[in-house]
Structure 1
Amino acid sequence: MNHLPEAWGRPRDDVYGAYDHSHLRPSMPNQHTQEPIVTGTSVVALKYNGGVVIAADNLASYGSLARFSNMERLKQVGTHTVVGASGDISDMQYLFDTALEDLVIKEEYQNDGHHLRAKHVYSYLSRVMYHRRNKFDPLWNVLLVAGWDDGKPFLASTDLLGTTFSAPALASGFGASLAVPLLRRVCPDEESVAKISRERAIEAVEECMKVLFYRDARSTNKYTMAIVSGEDNKVDIEWKKDVELQKQSWKFAEEIRGYGAQIV
């Protein structure tokens, strides 16, 4: 054995030949992109009579650490569409800053008067996600696409497998379990969309963001909301809107039986 300090426990190269490290090398290539580190949680969206309301909080978590508090996870694409992303932040940045930016530039470069609508953007994103899945290098995101298309509000989602889904109320992340049931009370089916006003839709989404702040450890009370209105065919975005909390955020806990000095 080679007993020199720099190679303790190794066979001597001059006697047995150079040490073979091949067994230490993995048979597969490195897969660093398959391990999301910095992630964002829920995106919530709801159709109403005249448009779509979509919201996502501004927190990006490094594991369980609330690392970045100003990460906006909604992006306006063209004049008719807003895309929201949950999941890996680096993959989201690739989609927002590279893929979608290139798509808009190529579309506007022709200057033919045609603009990307929500269905076009959604079709493109669903194919990008499915293509990356087939390469065994998926983008670890769930995307919600909200917009206005052919005189109707448009809302659909796609995920890292390229699965496509459309509904009048959608949410990703923890919101799929906590927010969707609340939204379906307001809008149980597509026929109910015509009965929902803009104010009622905003109220429902705000309530969902409040519930997620209380119940989801990876969320925060700072969030971005976008309202896609069909009245003027433009996207109205309100930035960094606060969840309306009680004066003492956890005051409601005093009313729970068994809390503090209360007798069960």
Structure 2
Amino acid sequence: MKKTVAAKPKLVQISTGYGKPAENSPVIPRNKYVEIRQDKPKGKNERDWPEYKTCKYTAEAIVTEGTEKGEIRKICANPECPIHHPKRQNQHNHADAAFKAEQEKRRREEALAQATGLRVLKAIGEAVPVRLMKRDLLFVAQRLTTMLDERRLAVLVRQHGINKPKDGEAPAKVLAAFLPKAEESKLGCIVVETAILLSMHNQTDAARVLRDAAQVYKVDVDSISARVKQEFAAKEKGTPAKKTTPKPQAKSSKKAVA
């Protein structure tokens, strides 16, 4: 047996016993490998048994401990083999599936929160009354919007249906060109929305700031949130959501104060 091992150093050493091998021993115990049987399966059911199948990890081994020492056998000792160690493979698959499900759940919650927040922001903007002259509103809007980062500037551009930036054109430039042409009511919306966006330092702040602003302008956040959830659910099912016409917000007089 020692001569065989010396002549074939690549032979895997195995044991027919299930006990724990000695420390630093190269011998693989019986519960750590699957022996590939050399005889043919006797029935149809046996053909599907792992011990009658070979895999890319199949290797020659020699029994160096236990009974039948010196015999050469073919085994699979790779714990990642999907043919001979399917249980461990299934455990990995279940773990991956759970992780992906958790990621998808978090992504959906974030998307719902973002969509609801944008809808609330828009409703607040629509509820802003015009109380200043255009030059005042323009002055405030121009100063405030320069404090926004590119992501929040893009939010304003989308909220008010401003033309999409051309290739390489920054949202700040698009908004700066739009503001002088905007009406007083639109400038009022942008001023309040910009103030809200500037107050949002993180996700927790965003929800709180929107709630506070919604209370001031009497915007029904719960109603908007319910509609957004309904739309998301309908989109996931592939069916169009029932459109509900929100009640118009009561606005103060649009007449500017001279």
Structure number with the higher helix fraction is: 2
Structure number with the higher strand fraction is: 1
Give the number of the structure with larger relative contact order, counting CA–CA contacts within 8 Å between residues 6 or more apart. Answer: 1
Task: Give 1 or 2 for the bigger CA radius of gyration.
Answer: 2
TM interval, shorter chain, is under 0.3
What TM-score does the superposition give when structure 2 sets the normalisation length? Answer: 0.23
